[in-house]
Amino acid sequence: MNNRKKTILNEAYKKRPSEIWRKEFDLILDLVEENSLVLDLGCGDGSLDKALIERKRCEVIGLDISEEAVQIARRKGVDARLGDLESPLPFADKSFDYVILCDVLEHLFDPLFTLIEALRVSKKYVIVAFPNFAYFKSRVELMFHGIFPVTPLFGYKWYNSQHIRLFSYKDFLKILRFLNARVVDERFVSTFPKFVTNFFPNLLALVCVLKIRRNSIDYEKLNYWGVDV
């Protein structure tokens, strides 16, 4: 499966512009302290990492399954490396100040494993950004048009979006409670005023950006398969 995934991603990066910037990148930059050691899981073309290096003077390591993405990121001066995010990360516990998972978890077969690994290797925080499938336009598309929501797929369809796991803001909060982790800061990409979105994030947030702190937990003994959260 990963070989097919690599092929699809490599072809996608060959066709993309060399610089990709998303609204959530600005929110992530605001959440990262200067001079931090950062691990970016699923770093893509390295656009966010380059900004972290230049604007926040961070030391950044990027990891991605796509050879094409890694090469593009390296040309931007990023220490980008090939890596499978659904395998154990080759880093010791608490190796990084920040671990970033930006628009990544929804593309993984076992996103919870990767989130647990991110919490393991982070010393301070994990920052996760993901599309919220409970966004109000998604609800409208499903209820009144009877089609799978395309709004949180950023224009793609259900068959070519590469999204494997679909979840909402509330779903993610539930899994954090199960993992004994907590949100210390949160930002949202939305077309609504900030104060309204902050009050109804599960309904009005298109993309959620959460800054998470790990609590004391034995991640090696954690068995989540079959657990109802």
- The partner residues of 210 in beta bridges, in order of sequence, read 128, 186
The HSE-up count of residue 150 (CA atoms within 13 Å, CB side) is: 9
**Averaged pLDDT for residues 203-210:** 97
What CATH architecture does domain 2-133+166-213 belong to?
3-Layer(aba) Sandwich (3.40)
- The partner residues of 129 in beta bridges, in order of sequence, read 102, 209
Domain chopping of the chain, boundaries = 2-133+166-213
Residue carrying structure tokens 């068995």? 223
d(CA 85, CA 117): 9
Helices and strands in the chain: count of H runs, count of E runs:
9, 7
**Averaged pLDDT for residues 161-187:** 93
Does pLDDT of 124 surpass 70?
A: yes
Give pLDDT, residue 67.
Answer: 92
Least confident of 8-12, 119-123, 129-133, 163-167: 8-12
| Confidence grade of residue 110 (pLDDT, cut at 50, 70, 90) | very high
Give pLDDT, residue 228.
Answer: 65
pTM of the model as a whole: 0.90
